[in-house]
Structure 1
């Protein structure tokens, strides 16, 4: 999974994995508000996530916790995220200071993105009113005929940053985001993925996000990691939301000359401080034109940076993150 890794910092705080109850520690735990706490129970000698969660509540002053990451939560076999959602939402009153939450901080060595058995995360968003930053990792590929990632339209006054990392983000999730009331949202990043892993969102599903009316405070928009990246770029080229943005990402997908030409012939982009196009299939000449338009320092995307792809021999394109 390219572009997938454990963060060393989260919400501006260093990440610390909570030692289990069976792990001896000579030095005391740091102050509850000085680190981002990461919980992982997988492969820890019978330690269930429920037991680790109780240990967390018992040993850390959770009233001061500002950032929390949920790592691998299963035991020997992959399990649904639903019980974790229930624990989080059920104990929200124990976390009055929580500002940032990362659901499923898992890398490929622990579980492939498409194998994560996610669930409806709406109860978590609804339970944590002060939450400002939410990152969700996991595909929407159905398991046994059931979608593993769910979201209903929500209203949340404090949320400033929302990020979905996925190799296949279901259209239902995209539509739910567009129908949500998030007046403080400044940063939105969606890894749309591919149909093979449940990423069936269309440009039409993105229409509320592109209108500019959904999130008036939005300053960064990432519509990336998509197999329809050219279509998305064409829609972005005339989208009203662009005028309010400071930065835009169309990275990680199959963006080629068609999409780049649409951007160059569309509305002005010169107000953007950053245009992220890394992992692209754009010809040298059009990359140069984009850099000339915005300045090379504001365009992130090296020429011919996609590995194992030769435009003269292989027309197949791939996204940065799928399985």
Structure 2
């Protein structure tokens, strides 16, 4: 139910945490790692913006290709608008930047559903050559519709993704986007979108190069599966990921009754609540066609109340 590890790699590069002021660590080559700049959520001795200023002075940032924003002070109650402003102000010092992740925090620092975010689209405007953007945390997250010519990969990890953000992404023109990964989450943590909000994404009209689509970690996974089953974009996908959510026999039946999925290289349904008969039907339908099918149930356990109510959970909520 939580995230336990920081990013080990990002944009194909190993992650390296920029050391604190007292450390004497030798720094790697600027273009050889994804630089993680971080503060502390609680009782920070150094604010994130100050750590970033040290980073700009210590590293030849003209060669930096990937940057990871870790914790900022009081992230459970404070949005990263100052972080975004600092990054935008440094855009001329980061001409080679191609990948940016905002909010690399584990549960011990700040639960994913507690992380406060902000409007992240100024980062896209400031870095027109950016190829990858990742965001963790959905509280107060905003993503008004934008156009960006270079972005190839967009990841938004939340315990609850606001419908306004889903609609903003769906209304964006992202002609180079190949990989879209949205953690839709639950209403308890602000995930108030409905399957109908996904229609602009599933039409594929503004995403001509999309090949990898993940719509996961959702309580409404059955409704998502039903929408995907007839979605125009699916015919040109290579991988489809509906994992980490509350996917039951209803959603599996919708997938089996919809358009053929045998063209896919992979279908990821791990962490699911599908019964064995429908799991077997999925195997018999897809595996002979060479589709890599992930039906690992993982920790998708059910709880039952005394009155017979069955409770099912997404993989990451808090």
- Tell me which interval the TM-score lies in, with the shorter structure as reference length: over 0.9
Residue in structure 1 matched with residue 29 of structure 2 by the alignment: 31
Once the two structures are superposed, residues 102-138 of structure 1 have per-residue CA deviations (whole angstroms, 9 ceiling, x without a partner) of 1000010111112112111111111111111111000
1:165–1:76 distance in 2 versus 1, CA, 3 Å: closer
Aligned pair partner of 2:313 in 277, 300, 318: 318
1:35-46 alignment, distance < 5 Å: 35-42=33-40, 46=45
Deviation at 1:310, TM superposition (A): 7.2
RMSD: 2.1
Aligned equivalents of 1:4, 1:240: Cα separation in 2 = 36
For 2:311, what is the secondary structure of its paired residue?
coil
Runs of 4+ in 1 over 3 A off after TM superposition: 1-4, 75-78, 308-311
Contact 2:79–2:117, Cα closer than 8 Å, also in 1? yes
Deviation at 1:54, TM superposition (A): 0.8
1:152–1:303 distance in 2 versus 1, CA, 3 Å: closer
Aligned pair partner of 1:208 in 190, 200, 206: 200
1:249–1:75 distance in 2 versus 1, CA, 3 Å: closer
Deviation at 1:5, TM superposition (A): 2.8
1:258 aligns with 2:250: yes
1:147-296 alignment, distance < 5 Å: 148-295=140-287
Residue in structure 1 matched with residue 137 of structure 2 by the alignment: 138
Normalising by structure 1, we get a TM-score of: 0.92
Normalising by structure 2, we get a TM-score of: 0.93
Deviation at 1:77, TM superposition (A): 7.5
Deviation at 1:96, TM superposition (A): 0.7
Gaps of 5+ in 1: 141-147
For 1:254, what is the secondary structure of its paired residue?
coil
For 2:169, what is the secondary structure of its paired residue?
helix
Once the two structures are superposed, residues 27-47 of structure 1 have per-residue CA deviations (whole angstroms, 9 ceiling, x without a partner) of x31110011100111168621
Deviation at 1:79, TM superposition (A): 2.5
Gaps of 5+ in 2: none
How many residue pairs match? The answer is 314
